[in-house]
Amino acid sequence: MKNSEFNYKKYVKPNFQPKNFTNREWPDKDITKAPIWCSVDLRDGNQSLPTPMSVDEKMGMFKMLLDVGFKEIEVGFPSASQTEYDFLRKLIDENLIPDDVKVQVLTQSREHLITKTFEALKGCKNAIVHLYNSTSVLQRDVVFNMDKEEIIGIAVKGAKLIKEEAAKYPETNFQFEYSPESFTGTEMDYALEICEAVMDVWQPTSENKMIINLPSTVEMTTPNRYADQIEWFSKTIKNRDCVSISLHPHNDRGTSTAAAELGLLAGADRIEGTLFGNGERTGNLDILIVGMNMYSQGVDPELDFSNINKIAEIYKDCTKLPIHERHPYVGDLVFTAFSGSHQDAIRKGMKARESRGEYVWQVPYLPLDPHDLGREYKEIIRINSQSGKGGAAYIMESEFGYNMPKAMQKYFGKVVKRRSDSMGKELSPQEIFNLFEKWYINIETPYKLTKYKISSVDSDSFDVDSNNIETNNLLLEAVINFNGHDYTIKGTGNGPVDAFSNALMQQDEEELKSLKNYKFVHYHEHALGEGSHVKGVAYIQIDTGCTEPYFGVGISENINTAAISALMNAINKSYIKMDVN
């Protein structure tokens, strides 16, 4: 039954776009370099946690952010919380902030908060003081009940106080940042007016730029509209060379990544966000995604995510939040294919790249090399009831070294699929290998090869299991056990398998007559592993006139033994009914 409250008519499309803006340039641009990155994990991300981080947890996160390569890190709101204050003092007192890193702190435009913020920063070498106040139509109306001039007064008063306090700490290199909070719900002309009013107080220069942060505090419209706002603002603000335009997108509409990328095209210089998108409501922009998107397009993000598993582990330990299995680049399943067609294409792409010795990464369905992030190729293909022949073949080759003939892959893929379906779960590589052994290798009934000898037809004696005799004209003698009785067979041929097959075809013993009921179709062999005692694996396909062919596999350090065993396994398989369980 439909919920009567579910009614789209209660919503009105917001309209805070720049007026008569027709000369937009961002649609024709590409991202060619990394922005200035500022992590707000320790402030914006932390304030949204059910249980905020302790000082020790914040320290663990801070060190990880340094390792990733962040040069600007918002460490907290020191005037609003004792934990935030203590953490900042610990960083400064213990000299834990590298000389090339700026710590950023947030404050509202209130005198006692600004004063305490500067006290917390005493002794810091490089700091960004971030002032904000809400400017949107809705906030002015229902939260503050103030007009435009009164809201500008709040911003200007805070800017003056910050400038006065900064003068008391000449040992610190300060940079100032202003955010018209709820920028996306603010009239563009008014957003420009209030930012320029703050600029008039701070008097930024091209050598000491002021940061103007234009936050999508609440994502209210499509990313292209945000890009229009950013480009208009960037082109219209006075003294543009004295300003660093910063973005702070939230993810209410699920499009923060697109908003950030289009905002960069529109002229932004800097981005604030968190790792894995932690933040209020649906979260902040995920900096990792934007950075890795650049990386996958051949642009240096100037952040190092090469050990993504460790980064994710620290994040989860510090925040107590999970990471979704489908999270781009990081989730447990993002480099995993279950679909049969995807698996087949990935397997072929990997083999093609290896055989060609290519450096440039081009593999179907894998826009990024998992090794770049410290992930393993074994994670790429996993098998369930949706998987096809390529997936099982990839697992057998990559995990165990078995390079099945193409015709065999189709039928083994069906076996694996039926097994996964009957179990109702994904199959592990070992479970797949066990199924392979059962289906093609360990088949010793109804016929069992006990022993054999091969020699040249012209030789007076047999050479058991020889690898070195000429194969032009071989004589083979073998013993086959059936129902507890041994039967000796003999045959000649141009190779061990041919001689063995001919020996089977010549049998008149009633118990062995049925061994003639096949046609030899295909033979394939390869080494299994490396070294002086490497084993060989042989694959044989036969046709018995049934709908599907039969395959057998043999393994031995002697390839003749492997080949003959493979034929016996194929023949035996044609006589027994096997199930996947």
Question: pLDDT for 350-392, tens place per residue?
Answer: 889 888 888 899 999 899 999 999 987 665 656 655 655 677 8
Q: Please report which confidence band the pLDDT of residue 294 belongs to, taking 50, 70 and 90 as the band edges.
A: very high
When pLDDT is averaged across residues 301-311 and rounded to a whole number, the result is: 96
- CA 427 – CA 382 distance, rounded (Å): 7
When pLDDT is averaged across residues 441-447 and rounded to a whole number, the result is: 87
Query: Given this model, what pLDDT does residue 462 score?
Result: 45
Query: Given this model, what pLDDT does residue 93 score?
Result: 97
pTM for the full model? 0.76
Task: Pick the closest to residue 292 from 363, 378, 362, 373 (CA basis).
Answer: 373
Lowest mean pLDDT among 39-53, 249-263, 547-561: 547-561
Domains 32-319 and 447-573 share a fold: no
When pLDDT is averaged across residues 241-251 and rounded to a whole number, the result is: 98
CA angle 121, 127, 130 (to 5 degrees): 95
Q: Is the pLDDT score of 449 beyond 60?
A: yes
Phi, psi (degrees; rounded to nearest 5) at 413: -60, -40
Q: Is 284 annotated as a binding residue?
A: yes
Query: Given this model, what pLDDT does residue 575 score?
Result: 80
When pLDDT is averaged across residues 337-355 and rounded to a whole number, the result is: 82
Q: Please report which confidence band the pLDDT of residue 581 belongs to, taking 50, 70 and 90 as the band edges.
A: low
**DSSP type of residue 302:** S
Question: pLDDT for 497-514, tens place per residue?
Answer: 888 888 888 777 776 766
Q: Is 437 helix (H, G, I), strand (E, B) or coil?
A: helix
Q: Is 526 annotated as a binding residue?
A: no
Lowest mean pLDDT among 33-37, 332-336, 464-468: 464-468
- CA 161 – CA 508 distance, rounded (Å): 108
Q: Is 228 annotated as a binding residue?
A: no
CA angle 283, 289, 291 (to 5 degrees): 125
CA dihedral 292, 294, 298, 302 (to 10 degrees): -80
Q: Is 100 helix (H, G, I), strand (E, B) or coil?
A: coil
- Delimit the domains of the chain by residue range: 32-319, 340-428, 447-573
Residue 236 host element (H or E): helix 223-236
Question: pLDDT for 5-15, tens place per residue?
Answer: 888 888 988 88
Q: Is the pLDDT score of 401 beyond 70?
A: yes
Burial 525-560 (b: 16+ CB within 10 A, else e): beebeeeeeeebbbbbbbebeeeebbbbbbbbebbb
Q: What whole-number percentage of the chain has pLDDT above 70?
A: 93
Query: Given this model, what pLDDT does residue 466 score?
Result: 43
CA dihedral 445, 527, 392, 415 (to 10 degrees): -10
Q: Is the pLDDT score of 157 beyond 90?
A: yes
- CA 550 – CA 552 distance, rounded (Å): 7
Query: Given this model, what pLDDT does residue 471 score?
Result: 47
Cis peptide bond prior to 35, omega within 30° of 0: no
Task: Pick the closest to residue 237 from 35, 399, 18 (CA basis).
Answer: 18
Query: Given this model, what pLDDT does residue 511 score?
Result: 67
- CA 107 – CA 131 distance, rounded (Å): 5
Residue 115 host element (H or E): helix 111-120
Residue with tokens 């922005």: 35
562 Cα distance to chain centroid = 41
Q: Which fold has domain 32-319?
A: TIM Barrel (3.20.20)
CA angle 280, 281, 285 (to 5 degrees): 65
Round the average pLDDT of the chain to a whole number and report it.
90
- 8 A C-beta contact, residue 215 and residue 133: no
Q: Please report which confidence band the pLDDT of residue 454 belongs to, taking 50, 70 and 90 as the band edges.
A: confident
The domain 447-573 belongs to what CATH superfamily?
Answer: Alpha-isopropylmalate synthase LeuA, regulatory domain (3.30.160.270)
